[in-house]
Amino acid sequence: MSSADFILKGGLLLLPTGHVVGDVAVSGGKIVAVGDVGEAKGEVIDCTGLALMPGAIDTQVHFREPGLTHKEDLESGTRAAICGGVTTIFEMPNTDPTTTTAEALRDKLDRAEGRAWCDYAFFVGASKENIEDLPLLEMMPGTPGVKMFMGSSTGTLLVDDDDSVREVMKHGVRPMPVHSEDEARLRQRKAELPENPHVRLHPDARDAESARLCTERLINLVRETGRPTHILHISTKEELPLLAAAKKEGLPVTCEVTPHHLTLNADRYEDLGSFIQMNPPVRSEDHRLAIWQAVKDGLFDVFGSDHAPHTKEEKAKPYPHSPSGMPGVQTLLPLMVDRALRGELPLEQVVAMLTANPAKLYGIEGKGSLAPGFDADIVAWDLEGSREVSQDWLQSKCGWSPYEGKRLRGRIDHVFVRGHHTIRNCELVGEPSGAKVRFDWK
C-alpha cells in the first residue's frame, strides 16, 4: 500500500452499516483506504472522540448571484455551507438574470471558479420560452438538471398550466425538482387578502389546498409522462398520502423536506413575523407533526435547506411586500444532527438523507459515501460538544437566522472538501477550493 497524503486517525465512522472506529486515508483529494490504512506521507490528524461522516449535500439553495448579491453571493453562500458541514450545493435558477440559457449557466460556473468554498452545480430554470432548449441544457456540465416553479415565488420563473408543465416534463429525462403550489389558487387567495394583512395570514393566502392541488396535478403528469420528479419542500399533511401512494404505485416521485417545516410552526409568526415567511409557508402544528411522522416513516428522500436569504431591511417591509425565504444552508445539517442527538431520529437516517440519498437521486459522481474511491468530502463532529447559532458563527450576507440564540447538540470540528482542510478545529482555514460537481446520470 502506498502512503497517503494524510490520515484521519481513530474516528468513529458513521457508515450506513453501523458505527465503527477506524482510520480514513486521503490521497489526491480522494478517500483511498478506510479501516486498516497504512502510513501517511503527511499529517496524521487525531480524530479520537470525533464522528466522521461524508460531507452533506444540500440540493436546494438560492445564492443570489448574479443580480441580487446584496443578499448573498457565491463566496459568502458557499462559506456558510462549509461552516455547516455542507460540502456540495445545488443552486437554484431564480437569480437576475434567471439561469434559463446556456450563457447564464456558463456565467454562474465562471463566477464560482476560485470563489466557491464547496463543490457546486447550478440548476437551469424551466420557462415557457426555453422548453425546446431543455434537452440540451440539462446535459451541460455543471448542472444537476432543470428546476420548475409551478407556483410563483421570489423572481419571475413560472410554468403554471398543465399543458406547459407536460411539455417541460417531456423535454428531458433527468430528475426534475419542482416547486409545487397551484398558481391560479395562489392568485385568487392573494386577491382576497384584507387590507394591511398580518403575516400570520401567509399560510392562509398560500393555503394547504394550493400545495395539495398542485402536487396532485403533478403526480398525475408524472404518471402520464414518466418523468422522474422531485417535489420540493413539502409543507402539508394533505400531500403526504398522495406522495406515499405515488411511491407505492412505483411512480418516479421523490420528495424533500426542510428543517424550517420540521422545526417551526405558525405560532412563530407572532415573534418572528415575516422573518419566517417563506413559500410554501410554515404552517400550523398539525402539519408539522404529520411531516415529522412521515420523516420517521421513511417517506422523504432528502433534507434540503431552501436557503433563501433576504436582508433584514427587506424582511421588515409590511406583509405582503416582505419577501419570502429564510437562510438555512449553515443550519441544515446541525439542526438535523441536533434532533438525532436528542433521540428524535436515527443519526444514520440524518446522514443518509443528506449524503447517499441526494447522491443517488441526482446521479452525483464520487460523493455521498466514506468508501475508498469517493471524494474526500468529510465532516468530523464532536457529538458531545454543542454550538450556539450566534452572529459570530453565521456567515450568510443577510446577517440573521430564525434559529439565532438556539444551542444545538453536536459541534463540527473539521471539514474537508475533496481533501482540502477548510474547517480546522472549528476555524475557517485555507482558500476556496470548490469545483463543479460531476454526474453519472446517463
Instruction: List the catalytic residues.
Output: 306
Among 100, 324, 330, 401, binds ligand DOR (CB under 6 A): 324
Question: In this structure, what DSSP letter does residue 193 have?
Answer: P
CB 412 within 8 A of CB 426: yes
Residue 354 DSSP SS3: helix
Determine, following the binding rule CB under 6 A, whether residue 325 of this chain makes contact with ligand DOR.
yes
Determine, following the binding rule CB under 6 A, whether residue 230 of this chain makes contact with ligand DOR.
no
Determine, following the binding rule CB under 6 A, whether residue 308 of this chain makes contact with ligand DOR.
yes
Q: Which three cell numbers stand for residue 79?
A: 462559506
Half-sphere exposure of 289 (CA within 13 A, CB side): 3
206 to 60, 148, 192, 195, 349: CA distances (angstroms): 21, 18, 11, 16, 31
User: Could you give the angle at the alpha carbon of 82 between the alpha carbons of 432 and 137, nearest 5°?
Assistant: 75
Determine, following the binding rule CB under 6 A, whether residue 60 of this chain makes contact with ligand DOR.
no
Q: How distant is the alpha carbon of residue 187 from its chain centre?
A: 27
Rounded least distance, CB 60 to ligand DOR, Å: 9
Rounded least distance, CB 97 to ligand DOR, Å: 14
**Of 387, 358, 274, residue with least CA distance to 323:** 274
From residue 276 to residue 295, what is the string marking binding to ligand DOR with x (rule CB under 6 A)?
Answer: --xx----------------
Closest residue by beta carbon to ligand DOR = 325
Instruction: Considering the complex, state which of residue 130 and residue 279 has its C-beta at the smaller distance from ligand DOR.
Output: 279
What is the torsional sign of CA 98, 99, 103, 109?
positive
Among 171, 179, 227, 418, binds ligand DOR (CB under 6 A): 179
Determine, following the binding rule CB under 6 A, whether residue 154 of this chain makes contact with ligand DOR.
yes
Among 24, 55, 62, 401, binds ligand DOR (CB under 6 A): 62
From residue 182 to residue 221, what is the string marking binding to ligand DOR with x (rule CB under 6 A)?
Answer: ----------------------------------------
Rounded least distance, CB 39 to ligand DOR, Å: 48
Instruction: Considering the complex, state which of residue 64 and residue 420 has its C-beta at the smaller distance from ligand DOR.
Output: 64
The secondary element (H helix, E strand) that includes residue 45 is strand 44-46
Rounded least distance, CB 179 to ligand DOR, Å: 5
Instruction: Considering the complex, state which of residue 11 and residue 93 has its C-beta at the smaller distance from ligand DOR.
Output: 93
Instruction: Considering the complex, state which of residue 174 and residue 179 has its C-beta at the smaller distance from ligand DOR.
Output: 179
Instruction: Considering the complex, state which of residue 306 and residue 413 has its C-beta at the smaller distance from ligand DOR.
Output: 306
User: Could you give the angle at the alpha carbon of 415 between the alpha carbons of 413 and 417, nearest 5°?
Assistant: 175
Rounded least distance, CB 150 to ligand DOR, Å: 11
Rounded least distance, CB 366 to ligand DOR, Å: 29
**Of 100, 65, 59, residue with least CA distance to 81:** 59
CB 394 within 8 A of CB 407: no
CB 429 within 8 A of CB 396: no
Count residues contacting ligand DOR (CB under 6 A)? 10
- In this structure, what is the dihedral angle of CA atoms 317, 96, 139, 173, given to the nearest 10 degrees? 40
Instruction: Considering the complex, state which of residue 322 and residue 386 has its C-beta at the smaller distance from ligand DOR.
Output: 322
Among 69, 99, 143, 153, binds ligand DOR (CB under 6 A): 153
Determine, following the binding rule CB under 6 A, whether residue 94 of this chain makes contact with ligand DOR.
yes
Burial class (CB in 10 A: 0-12, 13-18, 19+), 200: middle
Residue 41 DSSP SS3: coil
C-beta pairs of 196-202 under 8 Å, 24+ apart in sequence: 196/318, 197/319, 197/320, 198/269, 198/319, 199/269, 199/273, 199/274, 199/277, 199/319, 199/322, 200/266, 200/269, 200/270, 201/319, 202/269, 202/277, 202/281, 202/319, 202/320
Instruction: Considering the complex, state which of residue 27 and residue 76 has its C-beta at the smaller distance from ligand DOR.
Output: 76
Rounded least distance, CB 323 to ligand DOR, Å: 6
Rounded least distance, CB 203 to ligand DOR, Å: 12
Instruction: Considering the complex, state which of residue 232 and residue 240 has its C-beta at the smaller distance from ligand DOR.
Output: 232
Residues that bind ligand DOR (CB under 6 A): 62, 94, 153-154, 179, 278-279, 308, 324-325
